[in-house]
């Protein structure tokens, strides 16, 4: 059994070729995902034992008991066997009890720890089709890209401003639905640094596929530096273009996108105070660089159909906007 | 008896022939055929939709379908296969076979029977007409509120879906009540409930499930309609509604629905395996009881579709425990089928191949389902391709294989001709290979973190290979279906052999002509055991000697 235990996940690992690059909970980066993976593997082994047993019986019967040509004798008429039937009812009941115990145990292991002063408190808000991350204690707001320090306990509350979404970063934790009118809770932790892919897991409309999450797990130092940068107010525009761009942003964009990193109001669009500190945009689906930003500002719809941003900008306005936005690091 | 026959014949006499006679028919066999043919056409449409989905997902960042079109296509694929294919196919076999198997001349309410069919067909066509009137429904067959509110789904697609569902629900309710009354009232003399063929039993349980679960769906969609059209706010959170109300109402129907889809197929398999093994069904009482147990337990597991919605852990554990328990009666059935084949004389004609395929594939759908009932694992796997794999092993490897088993088994009864064995075997093996190529890799994709219902995905996450393999598998399935269509028409063109009992069957439908006359039986048979035809053929080994 012990060998099986070690081999099954390994065999699965081979099947999951590219597992190293897959956002799979079988490649866990947190104790939560690790518990879940262990439970998955244990049940997989149980299921495989049943599967192999039944399919071997089936194939064996099919070969052994096939009707041979010219054999016209009747098979023995067997109507049932009470002892056998009780056995194959009782065994699954016992298995169900074992499964139940395993479920309870893992649920205990992955339950959120009691709140403590060192926790990071995070408010996740689902929008069609992007994620808003509000670090309530740090007075930081960001979008789609979540920074957390390695080893920290992140206590999360989840809300939606529109439809149901589901927050899921497989290598860090299972998913929790983001339900309008109901504040759900979950927690996260990561035991290694790196980038972890996540995605909205509940169908939420046209661009459900383009509502992704990039979790950046940093060392504590780097996280602190990131926080310090995010808390800074936006820089003042210098050149003429930048000034014109700033004007455009504050008139055209500000009703949906806040330039205040500590904004408390939930806006229609992502906070852009430190836009260029992020590596992606539009629901973590496009790399954030000048070229992509320009084509986004030119027309957002081909890049992400049916999103709420509909602007008709002149090439000059785009130049000015980009000049200013590039300052928002 | 003869007097009754005369009445039937008289009633038929003035009916005109040709197409009109099919439009006006109240004969259970003709209505059964109408159900089967309409559902088959919807099956082709739903299958084409599946191919569109697979083409779109064959490559990362494919632009074959626009996001909105993709969402319409997967919504209609699910809605079609569930409401317009598997349910009416079962209703078709039920209509044709239940009266024959219980030795009756027709369903209890022939006109209601016709009403049920035409309501179903109109409901299906109505839903599909949305493609012409400004866009099909696009929020999944589960249509989660509040995404389906007017604010978020402004096209008329959702309204078509709601009204279509109401019509289909009505059709199923009428049909189910008809089955229940027919089976309770019109059984041949001596055919007690304890001797009822398994297919008739599963149709009974299915009918009760439908009658008790559909009101919940009807309520859910009516409230949504009020929200959308009259500004009510049952699901509108901002005005005090509840987003999760929809999910509870929907899944209180939606989970029994799974058993509505699979039980008739289990019934077919429970008919076919004994006949082609030359033995009675092993442990008949336990198999019947397990079907009834599934019927009851089916109503107590709905919230396992909602483990990630933020329910308290006691609630989670209650629904997890019930979901484990429902595996017990399912296991009883699988072991009973195995034991039926044990030491039989197995004949591998196509109906039997599909029945064996059912056992082998449904087992996978049962086992991977355990993972989804285990709450912490479900938190990872729900709403991923793992679920898509699971449900297709149940509904494709299970329900559809069972239905194809029934098609090959009963085709000679309905048409007086057998489907060709050679083509049938090609159909089976290609479909078997194709389905495993499509649905087995979905397990892996789910584990690799691929959510369902996404119209595109990025490269570099290990998802490309498996998606491509699945698309190849989908086309293999499509090929197998084309072989079936060829077989269907080629076999119909063959001269009729009109064998009454081509498979050496056990139950009453094989005791009359193929195809059966309008009145089914010249003389109503009387029954002394579960296998009346076996008794007739082997009086020295008659079942009633054992059963009584």
pLDDT at B11 over 90: no
A206 token code pair: 């046209």
Closest Cα in chain A, distance from residue B370 (Å): 8
Q: Residue-wise over B119-153: b if at least 16 C-beta within 10 A, else e?
A: bbbebbebbbebeeeebbbbbbbbbbbbbbbbebb
The neighbour count for residue B464, using CB atoms within 10 Å, is 17
Q: What string of DSSP letters covers B218-247?
A: HHHHHHHHHHHHH---SS-GGGT--HHHHH
Percent of chain B surpassing pLDDT 90? 94
Q: What integer pLDDT is reported at residue B48 of this predicted model?
A: 98
Separation CA A253–CA B120 (nearest Å) = 51
Contact A181 B316 (CB under 8 A): no
Q: Going edge to edge, which strands form the sheet with A140-143?
A: A140-143, A130-135, A120-127, A154-160, A184-188
Q: What is the pLDDT of residue B108?
A: 97
pLDDT confidence tier of residue B19, bands split at 50, 70 and 90: confident
* Beta-carbon separation of A36 and B376 below 8 A: yes
- Measured CA to CA, the distance from residue A317 to residue A297 in angstroms comes to 9
- Number of Cβ atoms within 10 Å of the Cβ of A181: 17
The model carries a pTM of 0.94
Predicted pLDDT at A186: 97
Q: Quick count: other Cβ atoms within 10 Å of Cβ B25?
A: 19
What does the mean pLDDT of chain B come to?
95
Question: Is the Cβ pair B451, A58 closer than 8 Å?
Answer: no
Query: Which of B448, B459, B542 should one mutate to test binding to chain A, selecting the residue with the greatest count of A CBs within 10 A?
Result: B448
Q: What angle do CA A156, A157, A163 make, to 5 degrees?
A: 125
Alpha-carbon gap, residue B233 to B428, rounded angstroms: 49
Preferred mutation among A55, A95, A208 to probe B, highest tally of B CBs within 10 A: A208
Nearest CA in chain B to A95: B324
Among residues 243-282 of chain B, which lie with CB inside 8 Å of chain A?
A: 243-244, 277-280, 282
Residue pLDDT, tens place only, A6-61: 445 545 554 554 455 899 999 999 999 999 999 999 999 999 999 999 999 999 99
Token digits of residue B548 = 């009584």
B414-439 pLDDT per residue, tens? 999 999 999 999 999 999 999 999 99
E strands, B227-328, where? none
Tell me the H-state helices in B326-349: 327-341
Residue in A closest to B281 by C-alpha: A79
List, in order, residues 6 or more apart from B107 with CB less than 8 Å away: B28, B95, B98, B99, B113, B178, B179, B182, B186
Q: Is B490 on the interface with A (CB under 8 A)?
A: no
Whether residue B310 and residue A21 make contact (CB cut-off 8 A), yes or no, is: no
* 10-residue mean pLDDT series, chain A (329 residues): 48 52 94 97 96 97 94 94 96 96 97 95 97 95 96 97 97 97 96 97 97 97 97 93 93 92 91 95 95 95 92 93 94
Min Cα distance B418 → chain A (Å) is 20
**In whole angstroms, what is the distance from residue B403 CA to residue B411 CA?**
12
pLDDT at B17 over 90: no
> How many whole angstroms separate alpha carbon A84 and alpha carbon B487?
41
On whether any CB of chain B is under 8 Å from the CB of A90, the answer is: no
Dmax (CA) for chain A in angstroms is 100
Residues 325-384 of B with CB under 8 A from A: 325, 327-328, 331-332, 334-336, 338-339, 341-348, 356, 359-360, 363-364, 367-368, 370-371, 373-380, 382-384
Which token pair is A44? 């997989």
Contact B313, B383 (CB under 8 A): no
Tokens of B172: 């199923």
Query: Residue A16 has what pLDDT?
Result: 54
**Phi-psi domain of B165 (left: phi exceeds 0; alpha: psi -120 through 50; beta: other):** alpha
pLDDT tens string B381-416? 999 999 999 999 999 999 999 999 999 999 999 999
A78 touches chain B (CB under 8 A): yes
Contact, B301 vs B209, CB < 8 A? no
B24 at interface of A, judged by CB pairs closer than 8 A: no
Looking at the partner chain, which of A81, A177, A205 has a beta carbon nearest the beta carbon of B310? Answer: A177
Rounded CA separation A239/A319 (Å): 12
What's the pLDDT score for residue B492?
Answer: 96
Q: Contacts of residue B320 in chain A, CB cutoff 8 Å?
A: 100, 103
Suggest the residue from A69, A80, A157 to mutate for an interface test with chain B (most B CBs closer than 10 A).
A80
Report whether A158 contacts A126 (CB < 8 A).
Answer: yes
Q: CA nearest B90: which of B227, B303, B260?
A: B260
Number of helices and strands in chain B (H, E): 20, 0
**Tokens at residue B224, please?**
């949504």
- Per the CB < 8 Å rule, is A89 touching B241? no
**Residue B121 in contact with residue B88, Cβ under 8 Å?**
no
How far apart, in whole angstroms, are the C-alpha atoms of residue A297 and residue B164? 41
Residues of chain A with C-beta less than 8 angstroms from the C-beta of B465: 17-18
Query: Cα separation of B229 and B218, whole Å?
Result: 16
Which tokens hold the place of B82? 């569930």
Q: How far apart are CA B62 and CA B455, in angstroms?
A: 9
- For A300, phi and psi rounded to 5 degrees? -75, -25
Q: Give CA–CA dist B37/B43, Å, rounded.
A: 10
Q: Which residues of A10-35 are buried (b: 16+ CB within 10 A; e: fewer)?
A: eebeeebeebeebbbbbbbbbebbbb
Digit-coded pLDDT (tens) for B493-536 = 999 999 999 999 999 999 999 999 999 999 999 999 999 999 99
Q: What is the percentage of chain B residues whose pLDDT exceeds 70?
A: 97
Q: Give tens-digit pLDDT for B177-230.
A: 999 999 999 999 999 999 999 999 999 999 999 999 999 999 999 999 999 999
Cross-chain CB nearest to A65 (options B334, B336, B346)? B346
Q: How far is CA B32 from CA B92, B264, B410, in A?
A: 4, 14, 12
The average pLDDT across B373-377 equals 97
Nearest CA distance, B296 vs chain A (angstrom): 17
CB contact under 8 A, A99 and B456: no
Mean pLDDT of B134-139: 92
Token digits of residue A24: 């799979």
List CB contacts (< 8 A) between B341 and chain A.
58, 61-62, 65
List of chain B residues whose C-beta atoms are within 8 Å of the C-beta of residue A49: none
- How many helices and strands, by DSSP H and E, does chain A display? 7, 12
Nearest Cα neighbor of B328 from B360, B349, B354, B301 is B301
- Give the residue on B whose Cα is nearest the Cα of A106: B376
Q: Do B317 and A104 touch (CB under 8 A)?
A: yes
A167 touching B (Cβ < 8 Å): no
Best CA proximity match to B138, nearest among B72, B67, B76 = B72
Cβ atoms B419, B491 nearer than 8 A: yes
Q: Cβ separation of B309 and A66 shorter than 8 Å?
A: no
Angle between helices B327-341 and B350-373 in degrees, nearest 10: 150
How far, CA to CA in Å, does A174 sit from each of A30, A111, A155, B126, B409? Answer: 11, 11, 14, 40, 45
Question: β-pairing, A140-143 with A130-135?
Answer: antiparallel
A39 touches chain B (CB under 8 A): yes
CB A257 within 8 A of CB A273: no
| Contact assignment for A22 to B360 by CB distance below 8 Å | no
Q: Which helix (H) or strand (E) holds A166?
A: strand A165-169
Size of interface A-B (CB pairs under 8 A): 279
- What is the C-alpha separation between A257 and A143, in angstroms, rounded? 11
Q: Enter the ipTM.
A: 0.94
Predicted pLDDT of residue A145: 96
**Which residues share a beta bridge with A217?**
A148, A194
Q: CA nearest B100: which of B492, B542, B527?
A: B527
Q: How far is the C-alpha of B170 from the C-alpha of B87, rounded, in Å?
A: 13
Find chain B residues with C-beta within 8 A of A179's C-beta: 243-244, 309-310
User: Could you tell me if A226 and A218 are in contact, meaning their C-beta atoms sit under 8 angstroms apart?
Assistant: yes
* pLDDT in the model for residue A12: 58
Supply the pLDDT for residue A15. Answer: 54
Of A23, A50, A208, the CB nearest to B367: A50
* Residue A9: CB atoms within 10 Å: 17
B215 touches chain A (CB under 8 A): no
Q: Are B412 and B459 in contact (CB under 8 A)?
A: no
SS3 of A141, please? strand
- For chain B, say whether A116 makes contact (Cβ under 8 Å): no
Taking an 8 Å cut-off on Cβ atoms, the answer to whether A18 and B152 are in contact is no
In this prediction, residue A20 carries a pLDDT of: 59
Q: How many Å apart are CA A308 and CA A154, to the nearest integer?
A: 30
Total length of chain B:
548
Does residue A105 sit at the B interface (CB-CB below 8 Å)?
Answer: no
Nearest to A179 among B280, B309, B360 (CB): B309
Question: CA of B152 to nearest chain A CA: how many angstroms apart?
Answer: 8
Q: Which position has the token pair 């479920």?
A: A103
Please list every residue in chain A whose beta carbon sits closer than 8 Å to the beta carbon of residue B325: 93, 96
Of A57, A81, A209, the CB nearest to B454: A209
Query: Which of chain B's residues have a Cβ under 8 Å away from the Cβ of A197?
Result: 449, 461
pLDDT of residue A311: 86
CB-CB under 8 Å, B324 with A100: yes
CA neighbor of A232 nearest in space, from A138, A111, A110, A137 = A138
CB contact under 8 Å between B310 and A76, yes or no, is no
CB contact under 8 A, B147 and A163: yes
Q: Is the pLDDT of residue B491 over 60?
A: yes
Q: Which uninterrupted H or E stretch holds A158?
A: strand A154-160
- The CA distance from A144 to the nearest CA of chain B, in Å, is 16
Q: H helices within chain A, ranges in order? A: 2-15, 31-64, 82-110, 220-231, 240-248, 290-298, 315-325
CA–CA separation, A170 and B454 (whole Å): 16
> Which residue of chain A is at minimal alpha-carbon distance from B145?
A163
Look at residue B282 in the predicted model and tell me its pLDDT: 97
Distance from C-alpha of A265 to C-alpha of A258, rounded to nearest angstrom: 9
* Å between A31 CA and nearest CA of chain B: 13
For residue B18, what pLDDT band results from cuts at 50, 70 and 90?
Answer: confident
């Amino acid at each position: 059994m012990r060998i099986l235990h070690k081999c099954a996940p390994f065999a699965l690992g081979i099947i999951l070729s590219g597992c190293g690059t897959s956002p799979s909970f079988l490649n866990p980066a947190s104790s939560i995902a690790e518990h879940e993976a262990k439970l998955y593997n244990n049940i997989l082994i149980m299921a495989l034992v049943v599967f192999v047993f039944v399919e071997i019986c089936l194939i064996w019967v099919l070969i052994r008991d096939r009707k041979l040509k010219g054999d016209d004798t009747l098979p023995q008429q067997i109507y049932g066997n009470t002892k056998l039937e009780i056995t194959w009812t009782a065994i699954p009941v016992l298995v169900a009890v074992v499964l139940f115990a395993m479920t309870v145990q893992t649920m205990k292991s992955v339950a959120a720890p009691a709140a403590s002063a060192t926790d990071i408190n995070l408010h996740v808000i689902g929008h069609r089709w992007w994620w808003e991350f509000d670090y309530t204690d740090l007075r930081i707001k960001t979008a789609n890209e979540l920074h957390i320090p390695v080893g920290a306990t992140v206590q999360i509350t989840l809300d939606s401003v529109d439809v149901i979404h589901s927050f899921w970063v497989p290598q860090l934790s299972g998913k929790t639905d983001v339900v309008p009118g109901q504040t759900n809770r979950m927690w996260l932790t990561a035991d290694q640094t790196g980038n972890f892919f996540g995605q909205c897991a509940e169908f939420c409309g046209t661009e459900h596929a383009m509502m992704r999450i990039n979790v950046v797990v940093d060392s504590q130092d780097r996280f602190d530096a990131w926080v310090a940068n995010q808390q800074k107010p936006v820089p003042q525009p210098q050149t003429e273009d930048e000034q014109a761009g700033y004007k455009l942003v504050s008139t055209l964009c500000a009703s949906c996108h806040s330039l205040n990193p500590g904004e408390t109001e939930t806006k229609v669009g992502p906070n852009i105070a430190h836009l260029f500190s992020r590596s992606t945009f539009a629901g973590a689906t496009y790399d954030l660089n000048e070229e992509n930003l320009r084509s986004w500002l030119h027309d957002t719809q081909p890049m992400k159909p049916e999103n709420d941003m509909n602007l008709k900008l002149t090439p000059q306005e785009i130049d000015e906007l980009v000049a200013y936005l590039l300052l928002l690091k | 008896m003869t007097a009754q026959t005369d009445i039937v014949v008289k009633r038929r006499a003035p009916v005109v022939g040709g197409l009109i006679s099919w439009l006006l028919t109240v004969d259970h066999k003709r209505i059964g055929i109408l159900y089967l043919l309409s559902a088959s056409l919807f099956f082709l449409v739903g299958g084409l939709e599946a191919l569109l989905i697979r083409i779109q997902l064959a490559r990362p960042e494919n632009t074959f379908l626009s996001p909105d079109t993709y969402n319409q296509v997967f919504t209609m694929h699910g809605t079609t296969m569930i409401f317009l294919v598997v349910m009416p196919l079962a209703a078709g076999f039920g209509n044709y076979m239940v009266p024959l198997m219980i030795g009756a001349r027709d369903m209890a309410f022939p006109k209601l029977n016709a009403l049920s069919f035409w309501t179903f067909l109109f409901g299906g066509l109505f839903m599909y007409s949305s493609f012409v009137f400004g866009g099909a429904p696009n929020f999944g067959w589960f249509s989660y509120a509040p995404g389906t509110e007017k604010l978020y789904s402004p096209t008329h697609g959702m309204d078509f879906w709601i009204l279509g569902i109401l019509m289909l629900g009505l059709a199923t309710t009428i049909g189910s009540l008809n089955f229940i009354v027919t089976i309770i009232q019109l059984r041949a003399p001596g055919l007690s409930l304890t001797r009822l063929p398994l297919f008739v039993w599963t149709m009974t349980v299915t009918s009760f499930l439908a009658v008790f679960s559909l009101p919940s769906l009807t309520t859910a969609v009516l409230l949504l309609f009020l929200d959308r059209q009259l500004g009510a706010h049952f699901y509108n959170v901002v005005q005090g509604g509840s987003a999760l109300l929809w999910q509870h109402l929907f899944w209180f129907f939606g989970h029994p629905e799974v058993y509505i889809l699979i039980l008739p197929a289990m019934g077919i398999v429970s008919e076919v395996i004994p006949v082609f093994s030359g033995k009675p069904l092993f442990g008949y009482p336990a198999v019947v009881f397990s079907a009834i147990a599934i019927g009851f337990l089916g109503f107590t597991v709905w919230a396992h579709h909602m483990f990630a919605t933020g329910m308290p852990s006691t609630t989670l554990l209650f629904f997890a425990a019930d979901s484990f328990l429902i595996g017990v009666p399912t296991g009883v059935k699988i072991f009973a089928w195995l034991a039926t084949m044990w030491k039989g004389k197995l004949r591998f004609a196509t109906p039997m191949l599909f029945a064996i395929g059912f056992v082998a594939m449904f087992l996978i759908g049962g086992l991977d389902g355990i993972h989804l009932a285990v709450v912490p694992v479900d938190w990872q796997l729900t709403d991923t391709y793992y679920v898509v794999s699971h449900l297709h092993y149940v509904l494709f490897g299970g329900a559809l294989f069972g239905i194809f088993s029934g098609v090959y088994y009963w085709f000679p009864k309905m048409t007086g001709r057998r489907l060709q064995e050679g083509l049938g075997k090609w159909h089976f093996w290609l479909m078997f290979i194709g389905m495993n190529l499509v649905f087995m890799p979905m397990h892996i994709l789910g584990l690799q973190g691929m959510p369902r219902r996404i119209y595109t995905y990025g490269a570099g996450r290990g998802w490309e290979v498996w998606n491509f393999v699945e698309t190849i598998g989908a086309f293999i399935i499509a090929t197998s279906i084309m072989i079936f269509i060829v077989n269907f028409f080629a076999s119909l063109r063959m001269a009729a052999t009109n064998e009454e009992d081509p498979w050496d069957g056990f139950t009453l439908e094989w005791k009359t002509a193929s195809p059966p006359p309008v009145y089914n039986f010249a003389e109503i048979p009387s029954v002394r055991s579960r296998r009346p035809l076996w008794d007739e053929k082997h009086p020295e080994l008659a079942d009633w000697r054992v059963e009584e």
